[in-house]
Chain A
Amino acid sequence: MFDILSLLDITFFLLAALGALVGIIFGAIPGMTATMAVAVCLPLTYALGLNHGLALLLGLYVGGISGGMVPAVLLNIPGTPSSITTTFDGYPMAQKGEGERALRVSVVASVVGGLISAAILFLFAPLLAEFSIKFSYVEKFLIILLALTVIASMSRNMLVGIFSGVLGIWLSLIGTYSISDGGNGKTRLMFDFLEPYLFEGFSLLPVLIGIFGIATILLEAEEGVKSGLAGKNITFGKGGGFSFTIFKGRLTNLVRSSFIGTFVGMLPGVGGSAASVLAYTQEKNLSRDSSEMGKGAPQGLMASESANNALTGGALIPLLSLGIPGDSTTAVLIGAFTLQGIQVGPLFIPENADTWYVMMTALVFANIVMFFLMFYAIKHIAKVVLVPKYILYPIIVMMCVVGAYAINYGIMFDVWTLLIFGVLGYLIQKVGLEVAPLIIGFILGGQAEVYFVKSLESAGSYAIFFTKSPIAVVLWLLIAASVAFSVMMGLKSRARRRLETSS
């Protein structure tokens, strides 16, 4: 336990703090997300060791999620999708001249959410890992199937969600059926002339950076890269007016929202906006004085911000215990682990206890840094919202290139992968397919194949997936439940729409 103290040097804390600062800046600029922050800054971790790299990335993650509140409150534009509900009460407060107060309430709520979810992560992930360590290939395959079903059932349209997930799996199968996984080393799903480039399939990180970096730029370019903010003024109000008494009697709200955020974060592929919307509506339903919500009530900010920061800890739970990313940012984190030669999964925590404690330290420290940075320096940080995009976007493309090129020590094809998936990511979002299931499918597809084929090879019957163990049956029940849930929600919303059109 005390060994880890030797791993925590000044550089470690400086990197976590730097990560938090850069993350806040990314989060604060509308259109740029925590995922993008992590993806773009990945090349910096190539040269750092595992612990230092993790400190930086977790700082970016926490900062990126938190930064979204800044434009949400000041400009009524959510900086990240998950701060959508922050605009409901934040912007009215800013208009009343209480911008700084609103931001400070949000910052406190954020740090509470972040720390509560970190605590849940710390307690829960090792348990889940210990439980899942006994899983055979059958259960592992079913877990992946469950993860994909859950993502799909949370999509706007389950059918489209599933299709996106399967498309992701298909993309991951391009290349060889690797001998190291017990395959026969033959290539499939490509033309022979591509073999020199695609023998190992598409590399994960260029794919992710392409979809989250280049595709975003293309989407913005299509819109004409409007600054839209040039004429706007940022008003903070007179400052002051904030005191911690505002949180009196709001503890239930904070804790409830944090738990909601953590739980939603655990569900794979469910975006951050679901967490804050759920927490916000719960507060609205359950609180005694919800009449002011939406007109500038601090309690709305508390629900929204504590839930969206609680995502961080939640999303790391399935990542570290099952190897399944909880959201798109943790999907990029998987890439960072792979880069350092570490396989995340049930064995990660027991075999890398030091790394696990280091991660927890980095996560908690990043939350604290985020709090102090935003609580005291928010006025200065908020100005980055106004940095023009014509300066930012070229730099982002440049950083994407560095990340893709350096990942395999200088392969130009990885840079082209960036473009291929940038364009693909653009098209996918244009025709209405979903990015999150696609990415998770892409990440888990290779493993799904190995687990599936190996299970069948040893058992010789499809029946093994149902009869292997009680856990397998439970997993099937969960899969059925998530499909049923989605179908029910679909029918409900269809009925509501029909009601609206007929009335």
Chain B
Amino acid sequence: MESGLSSLLSVSIDFETSHLFFPYIVHWLMGGLFALILVLNVVPFLAAVRRGERTLPILGESMDKFRFFGTLVLIVAYFYLMSVVGNLFPYTGYGFLFVSMVFVFLMSLMYMHTRTRRKVITAAINALVAPSLAWFILAKLFQITLP
């Protein structure tokens, strides 16, 4: 019995595949937990959804589609263009500076619910000043690399 238990617990790890040993255990753990959650939480939840008591997250909720997807699109464009423009002026941080200005202004406009002249002008000033300030302090004073 004793030897049976110790042989059950004994383990040898081959160095060549030792990078897969822990992930293997983690995968099993994740799979097991996921199955448990599925049975204990998700199935009752879906049943409640079918009865109309609860709503599905994301899909069933009302959301501000324009602002949500607008944010995603703006961020992707921001990240992408930053490196494109940055490559035109390497080691200057201009890519960050110029693209940030446009991005900050567009995002401000998108998040505004009512656009008055005053608000738009405030946003424009902010879009000019904030990136310049960040660029000046970080790139110029602190010598931090920027795109």
Alpha-carbon distance A402/B103, docked complex (angstroms): 14
Alpha-carbon distance A431/B55, docked complex (angstroms): 11
Residues of B within 8 A of A218 (CB): 68, 71-72
Known contacts A47-B142, A218-B72, A453-B21; is A430 also within 8 Å of B40 by CB? no
CB–CB B11/A395 < 8 A: no
Alpha-carbon distance A176/B22, docked complex (angstroms): 12
Does A162 count as interface, using CB distance less than 8 angstroms? Answer: yes
Interface size class of A (residues with CB under 8 A): 35 or more
Alpha-carbon distance A457/B11, docked complex (angstroms): 8
Alpha-carbon distance A406/B126, docked complex (angstroms): 23
CB–CB B58/A394 < 8 A: no
Contact with B along A184-225 (1 / 0, CB 8 A): 111111000000000000000000000000100110011111
Alpha-carbon distance A419/B74, docked complex (angstroms): 11
Residues of A within 8 A of B13 (CB): 453, 456-457
CB–CB B11/A460 < 8 A: yes
CB–CB A221/B67 < 8 A: yes
* Shortest beta-carbon distance from B98 to chain A in Å: 12
Residue of B nearest to A186 (CB): B19
Known contacts A46-B142, A397-B103; is A462 also within 8 Å of B126 by CB? no
Residues of B within 8 A of A177 (CB): 18-19
CB–CB A409/B68 < 8 A: no
With beta carbons under 8 angstroms apart, the residue of B75, B104, B113, B146 that contacts A395 is B104
B48-89 residues with Cβ-Cβ distance < 8 A to A are 57-58, 63-64, 67-68, 70-72, 75-76, 78-79, 82-83
With beta carbons under 8 angstroms apart, the residue of B11, B19, B30, B105 that contacts A456 is B11
CB–CB A412/B83 < 8 A: yes
* Shortest beta-carbon distance from A92 to chain B in Å: 30
CB–CB A214/B75 < 8 A: yes
With beta carbons under 8 angstroms apart, the residue of A221, A399, A461 that contacts B11 is A461
B118-139 residues with Cβ-Cβ distance < 8 A to A are 119, 122-123, 126-127, 130-131, 134, 137-138
CB–CB B122/A391 < 8 A: yes
Chain B binding surface SS class? helix
Alpha-carbon distance A452/B18, docked complex (angstroms): 11
Q: Which of A74-82, A166-174, A310-318 contacts B (4 or more CB under 8 A)?
A: A166-174
CB–CB B23/A170 < 8 A: yes
Residue of B nearest to A187 (CB): B19
CB–CB A402/B146 < 8 A: yes
Alpha-carbon distance A390/B126, docked complex (angstroms): 10
CB–CB A225/B30 < 8 A: no
Does A432 count as interface, using CB distance less than 8 angstroms? Answer: yes
CB–CB A406/B144 < 8 A: yes
* Shortest beta-carbon distance from A440 to chain B in Å: 15
Residues of A within 8 A of B104 (CB): 394-395, 398
Alpha-carbon distance A461/B100, docked complex (angstroms): 56
With beta carbons under 8 angstroms apart, the residue of A185, A391, A409, A419 that contacts B145 is A409
CB–CB B111/A398 < 8 A: no
* Shortest beta-carbon distance from A357 to chain B in Å: 26
Residues of A within 8 A of B138 (CB): 43-44, 47, 402, 406
With beta carbons under 8 angstroms apart, the residue of A170, A388, A427, A463 that contacts B9 is A463
Contact with A along B1-45 (1 / 0, CB 8 A): 000001001111101101111110011011001101100110000
Alpha-carbon distance A432/B56, docked complex (angstroms): 11
Residues of A within 8 A of B127 (CB): 394
CB–CB B134/A406 < 8 A: no
A369-422 residues with Cβ-Cβ distance < 8 A to B are 388-391, 393-395, 397-399, 401-402, 405-406, 409-410, 412, 415-416, 418-419, 422
* Shortest beta-carbon distance from A435 to chain B in Å: 15
CB–CB A393/B107 < 8 A: yes
* Shortest beta-carbon distance from A500 to chain B in Å: 15
CB–CB A395/B9 < 8 A: no
Does A449 count as interface, using CB distance less than 8 angstroms? Answer: yes
CB–CB B145/A176 < 8 A: no
Does A95 count as interface, using CB distance less than 8 angstroms? Answer: no
With beta carbons under 8 angstroms apart, the residue of B10, B64, B70, B143 that contacts A223 is B64
Residues of B within 8 A of A (CB): 6, 9-13, 15-16, 18-23, 26-27, 29-30, 33-34, 36-37, 40-41, 57-58, 63-64, 67-68, 70-72, 75-76, 78-79, 82-83, 96, 100, 103-105, 107-113, 119, 122-123, 126-127, 130-131, 134, 137-138, 141-147
In addition to A163-B30, A170-B30, 10 A-B residue pairs with Cβ atoms within 8 Å of each other are: A177-B18, A186-B19, A187-B19, A218-B68, A224-B67, A225-B64, A227-B113, A401-B96, A402-B134, A463-B9
- A–B complex contacts, Cβ < 8 Å, 10 sampled: A44-B137, A46-B142, A177-B19, A391-B123, A405-B96, A412-B79, A419-B79, A431-B58, A452-B22, A460-B10
Closest 6 CB pairs of A and B: A47-B142, A177-B19, A224-B64, A390-B111, A394-B104, A410-B145
Residues of A within 8 A of B (CB): 43-44, 46-47, 157, 159-160, 162-163, 166-167, 169-170, 173, 176-177, 183-189, 214, 217-218, 221-227, 388-391, 393-395, 397-399, 401-402, 405-406, 409-410, 412, 415-416, 418-419, 422-423, 427, 430-432, 448-449, 452-453, 456-457, 460-463
